[in-house]
Amino acid sequence: MREIITKIDEITGNIATLKATGVGLGELAVIQSPGRSTLGQVISLSGGSVTVQVFGGTKGISTSDTVRFLGVPMQAKFGESLLGRIFNGSGQPVDGGPEPVEEEIPIGGPSFNPANRIIPMQMIRTNIPMIDVFNSLVVSQKLPIFSIPGEPYNQLLARVGMQAEADIIILGGMGLKFDDFIFFKRTFEEAGVMNRVIMYMHLASDPVVECLLVPDMSLAVAERFAEAGRRVLVLLTDMTNFSDSLKEISISMEQIPSNRGYPGDLYSQLAARYEKAVDIQGLGSITILAVTTMPGDDVTHPIPDNTGYITEGQFYLRYGKIDPFGSLSRLKQNVVGKVTRKDHNDIMNTMIRLYSDCRESRNKIAMGFKVSKWDELLLAYGKDFESELMELNVNLPIEAALDRCWDILARHFDPVQTGIKQGLVDEFWPKDTIKAMEKAA
């Protein structure tokens, strides 16, 4: 067995430094204090000195605690028996069940070879019109929900998770409030899907940096399931806590921060996780839906900013709705009108354009300018758009949602006012709306 070190030289922040030999970068260590043990990972070597990042935090650690190096980097348990189980941020079961014993797999493994990737083309139906119609989610997409704290982002995450027809859902909680943990657990249990859910729960009360392992464990397990042909949905909440932990470590390491205290490699760190999303030809897939709470609703803050540069679009959650402005699915063009109905593209663009015009009319009112007949039409349209499509409780299959779009348009406009191509109007414009009846009379 490996040597046990009994003296820690230095403890700062979440970092401990000690003398040891034969230790590799990234190797796992167990720090044994009286009554508790925590995991650590080697992050730097210098001569005989080894610096260990302590996941459980260094609070209470004494220079005389024992440290044992395990000779391997951090691993995760993998196997079918993980389904339905709940683990903590270090991968220990917290549901009272036994340790899974099938297999230990490395985490944070190499990238998928880009030459093996395929163009993703399978739409994920969520029955949320603001997603399905306006920013379709596609298998293997990586997409964050940008949200101000306090918005129902976890509710949205759970709902998409349940409706997304995935074989396996992996929920990675980082700094999760206990109430939210219970909410997720209940929701999955009540829907009867718990037997295909795996939860890694790092709670707000746990040592902060322990959450750093959550995305890697979730994604390593997801990767193995995807290779075995399973469609995996990974839900990560909240990546802002993950990024803040990275910041803590880098400050302890006395790295020079690049932007508002965040390390210069924040982009690479986040990308290493998000890029695990993949659609493997002939096998399974990983789709990642994450939450990024925006400090101060500021999208230029380093966390949402770096995230936006990595992910394939984003959903803005504002005032309980997915805001069509700023929200974007970069993969929607792969499916819109190709796997969905042929009116999808035009109706989507028209609805958004008119809704944007409606917002301008609202601005006019706010500025005290005159309101025209056209403005009035737009205002009435915007109200219906919001209540019948944007509200988060609207639950419609995409076909019904597209029909509803036509309905709303026909209620407020003449076809020419919408600028929709004649061919589509002929085929899809509702024939029996009140407006049409009035005209006939």
Ligand X SMILES: Nc1ncnc2c1ncn2[C@@H]1O[C@H](COP(=O)(O)OP(=O)(O)OP(=O)(O)O)[C@@H](O)[C@H]1O
Interface residues toward another protein, by CB under 8 A: 21-27, 43-48, 73, 109-120, 140, 227, 255-259, 264-265, 267-268, 271-272, 275-276, 280, 300-302, 305, 308-310, 312-314, 325-326, 328, 330-331, 333, 349, 353, 356, 364, 367, 369-370
* Residue 156 Cβ vs another protein, minimum distance, rounded to whole Å: 20
* Residue 293 Cβ vs another protein, minimum distance, rounded to whole Å: 17
Q: Are 31 and 54 in contact (CB under 8 A)?
A: yes
Which is closer to ligand X, CB of 52 or CB of 145? 145
Q: Are 144 and 291 in contact (CB under 8 A)?
A: yes
Which is closer to ligand X, CB of 178 or CB of 309? 309
Q: Which residues contact 36 (CB under 8 A, 6 or more apart)?
A: 56, 60
Which of the choices another protein, ligand X, none does residue 116 contact, using the CB cut-off of 5 to 8 A by kind?
another protein
**Footprint of ligand X on residues 326-345 (CB under 6 A)?**
330
Which of the choices another protein, ligand X, none does residue 47 contact, using the CB cut-off of 5 to 8 A by kind?
another protein
HSE-up (13 A, CA, CB side) for residue 354: 32
HSE-up (13 A, CA, CB side) for residue 309: 13
* Residue 309 Cβ vs ligand X, minimum distance, rounded to whole Å: 5
CA 87/CA 97 separation, integer angstroms: 10
Bridge pairing between strands 75-78 and 66-73: unpaired
* Residue 312 Cβ vs ligand X, minimum distance, rounded to whole Å: 8
- Of 187, 125, 130, 137, the residue nearest 321 (C-alpha): 130
Size of the site for ligand X (CB under 6 A): 2
Which is closer to another protein, CB of 203 or CB of 294? 294
HEC-encoded secondary structure of 226-271: HHCCCEEEEEEECHHHHHHHHHHHHHHCCCCCCECCECCCHHHHHH
Which is closer to another protein, CB of 365 or CB of 437? 365
As to burial, measured by CB atoms within 10 angstroms (0-12 exposed, 13-18 middle, 19+ buried), residue 402 is buried
Max CA distance (Å), the chain: 93
* Residue 25 Cβ vs another protein, minimum distance, rounded to whole Å: 5
* Residue 111 Cβ vs another protein, minimum distance, rounded to whole Å: 4
20-to-8, 28, 52, 66, 67 alpha-carbon distances in Å = 10, 13, 11, 12, 10
Which is closer to ligand X, CB of 230 or CB of 330? 330
Which of the choices ligand X, another protein, none does residue 256 contact, using the CB cut-off of 5 to 8 A by kind?
another protein
Which of the choices ligand X, another protein, none does residue 73 contact, using the CB cut-off of 5 to 8 A by kind?
another protein
Is 198 in a helix, a strand, or coil? strand
* Residue 14 Cβ vs another protein, minimum distance, rounded to whole Å: 16
CA 231/CA 166 separation, integer angstroms: 5
* Residue 333 Cβ vs another protein, minimum distance, rounded to whole Å: 8
* Residue 338 Cβ vs another protein, minimum distance, rounded to whole Å: 12
Which of the choices another protein, ligand X, none does residue 27 contact, using the CB cut-off of 5 to 8 A by kind?
another protein
Q: Does the protein bind ligand X through residue 309 (CB under 6 A)? A: yes
Which is closer to another protein, CB of 370 or CB of 431? 370
Q: Which residues contact 50 (CB under 8 A, 6 or more apart)?
A: 17, 18, 19, 20, 23, 42, 44
Crossing angle (nearest 10°) for helices 344-367 and 398-412: 50
* Residue 69 Cβ vs ligand X, minimum distance, rounded to whole Å: 40
Q: Are 172 and 234 in contact (CB under 8 A)?
A: yes
Which is closer to another protein, CB of 143 or CB of 168? 143
Which is closer to ligand X, CB of 312 or CB of 343? 312
Which is closer to another protein, CB of 146 or CB of 181? 146
Which is closer to ligand X, CB of 67 or CB of 143? 143
Which of the choices another protein, ligand X, none does residue 344 contact, using the CB cut-off of 5 to 8 A by kind?
none
- Report the interface residues with ligand X, using CB under 6 A: 309, 330
